[in-house]
Amino acid sequence: MSACVFCRIVRGEAPARIVYQDEDVTAFHDLCPRAPTHILIVPNRHIAGVAEIEPEDSALLGKLFVVARRLAEQEGIVEGYRLVVNNGPRAGQSVFHLHVHLLGGRPLGWPPG
């Protein structure tokens, strides 16, 4: 999807502080961080949200979590971090490209939001 800002970041057409990229996944710092570590992990292929996930996406979804674990190690937040996926505007999704928020570096309260 050419107008999607995350697709543009993946293609190198929009600026971002990329911390990881391979053929399937890109990860970059959030522009409006909610924690000292706030990284977005996205599939390179446009998937608008959870409702668009297909069974054949299982390996890709697993890879998002593997990348999250590696980034948590790299960021030194393995003692505690949160992974968040918002689906739809009522849940706070503002960019309609599936993404996982990696949050850490401070105590995270519960319940969220």
- Hey, which residues are catalytic here? 99
Instruction: Determine whether 15 is exposed, middle or buried from the number of CB atoms within 10 Å of its CB (0-12, 13-18, 19+).
Output: exposed
Helix (H) or strand (E) segment spanning residue 81? strand 81-84
- Three-state SS for 66? helix
Helix (H) or strand (E) segment spanning residue 103? strand 100-104
